[in-house]
Amino acid sequence: MNTPEPLASTVVIKTVNLGRTLMDTEQQPLTILQGINLQINAGDSVAILGSSGAGKSTLLGLLAGLDQASTGEIYLNQQPLTQLNEEQRAQVRQKVGFVFQSFQLLGHLTALDNVMLPLELAGAKDYRKKAQNWLERVGLGHRIKHYPNQLSGGEQQRVAIARAFAGEPVVLFADEPTGNLDQKTGQTIIDLLFKLNRDQGTTLVLVTHDLELAQRCQQRYLLQDQQLILQTPAAVNPVNAEATP
């Protein structure tokens, strides 16, 4: 399975028997993910579907190296995340973009400052111009001086997306990137995502309830009963998926 492969199909993400178990408030173990085997090639676009509470965000966080797995292995960009320490994982993440479900903008910084942050941390030169450019591309060119609490939910989401784009990642993880957006704005963002995927070969891993977005991805997975199930290219309705196991 792990034979050297041509560049186009280089594996960027691979998990082996990945599992995540948490302790709940009564110190009872709570298994969210179990035995997940997944492989995503460079340049792929992948959608993860599943009902609320299925563990989608948890899985995304694990794949991006933001959380620690309980069992199994994760390889991101050929790096064995589970064997790295926090410091080394951070290093790997420099090539990774992440859009949080809850945005996670820094409230005391303006939209521009928030988007500049990954650029500055990476030591980019014209960080201000680039950040401004990204904000314009998500349609917020006129709100760059505003603070997160002065922006609507959708606007905050777009700032978060711009911040993820700004680092020019190899892999972009997005947790419901269009969840708060209207049809039209959502479409713009989706176009932007796939343009990035096309032009720069950025691998996309998206968690979404948006069928249209899921349709545009090359692969779709359904997360259910702690397991990840590859969906046939046929239409998948995540709402129905909940009802019919």
Helices (H), the chain: 56-63, 86-93, 111-121, 127-137, 153-166, 183-199, 211-216, 238-243
96 binds other proteins (CB under 8 A): yes
Minimum distance from CB of 17 to other proteins (Å)?
19
238 binds ligand ATP (CB under 6 A): no
177 binds other proteins (CB under 8 A): no
Rounded Cα distance between 228 and 222, Å, is: 6
**Tell me, what DSSP letter sits at residue 232?**
P
126 binds other proteins (CB under 8 A): no
Count CB atoms within 10 A of the CB of residue 245.
7
**Tell me, what DSSP letter sits at residue 224?**
E
Listed ranges 36-44, 61-69, 133-141, 193-201: which one lies at the site for other proteins (CB under 8 A): 61-69
Q: What are the C-alpha distances in Å from 52 to residues 31, 93, 222?
A: 15, 27, 12
Q: Please choose which of Mg ion, ligand ATP, other proteins, none residue 106 contacts, taking the beta carbon within 5 to 8 angstroms, the exact cut-off set by kind.
A: other proteins
> Which residues contact ligand ATP by CB under 6 A?
22, 24, 32, 50, 52-58, 101
> Which residues contact other proteins by CB under 8 A?
61, 64-68, 86-87, 89-96, 98, 104, 106, 108-109, 113, 117-118, 120-123, 128, 147, 149-150, 163, 167
